[in-house]
Amino acid sequence: MYFFDPHIHMAARTTDDFATMAKMDCLVVGEPAFWMGYDRSGTNSFYDYFRQLTEWEPKRAANHGIQHYAWMGINAKEAEDVGFAREVIALLPEFLDRPNVLGIGEIGLHKCTKNEVTTLLGLIDLAMAREEQMLFHTPHLEDKYLGTRMILDILRADSRVDRSRVCIDHCEEHTIRPALEEGYWAGITLYPTTKATPQRAADMIEVYGPERILVNSSADWGPSDPLAVRRFMHEMRRRRHPESLIRRIVYDNPLEFFRGSRNFRFVPPEQD
């Protein structure tokens, strides 16, 4: 069965990972801009990183028959310096028009500070002015619920937001319900230390159903697994869920969400 990984950081992965994912029938990856494990020293560092996501990574993926799409933004871990963040935001329009860019992401909150909120408002305003899709990072661990509620409150206050074109990512058992109830897409991240396991993700599907849910690995430079979506599929099969349900979550749903971007040009294999 074909699948998407709608949130994975291939800039931090090896070419062997692309090859292995292709063998496991991954067709499309979505790569949001994120924190690379260190704070970047200037806007030129971001500029070169955005070039990597829009020029180099699509070529690496294409060598293995995988389509690579990116999201442009400034991650919450680097959003505290508002002046610096504004300089990075000024770079984004040049890249948002590139053919593999889906929208603005991953953006959101980390420690839920006033400065992070100021930067986030600037990013949302840019997205709304350009009618871009958005992908939101919600905080880790003890800040998860507070940060998710703050993001939902910010979005609710902006009448320009089309909720069908927004994903609230890294949802867990205590945050997935409000994201779905308010009409957003909800991302479940399969990450072994700070997010969910395949078993917990399957539990959430059994409670809330498959509608507007995306499952992703968020694999990066940390302890993570680029085949996590495959492991989720195996867990769903172990529980005797039908193939049609599994396909909806790992293929049909991300295909529907990505089609909300004007730059998404994927042709399903059965139509090729």
pLDDT in tens, 148-204: 999 999 999 999 999 999 999 999 999 999 999 999 999 999 998 889 999 999 999
H-state helical runs in the chain: 15-23, 43-51, 57-62, 82-89, 92-96, 114-130, 144-156, 176-181, 198-208, 228-238, 243-247, 253-258
pLDDT one-digit tens code per residue, 105-163: 999 999 999 999 999 999 999 999 999 999 999 999 899 999 999 999 999 999 999 99
Domain spanning 3-266, CATH architecture: Alpha-Beta Barrel (3.20)
Q: Quick check: helix, strand or coil at residue 116? A: helix
Query: Does 271 score more than 80 pLDDT?
Result: no
Contacts of 94 (CB under 8 A, 6+ apart): none
Report yes or no on whether pTM surpasses 0.85: yes
- Residue 31 contacts residue 10 (beta carbons within 8 Å): yes
pLDDT of 136 reads: 98
Domain boundaries, the chain: 3-266
Query: Does 104 score more than 90 pLDDT?
Result: yes
pLDDT of 159 reads: 97
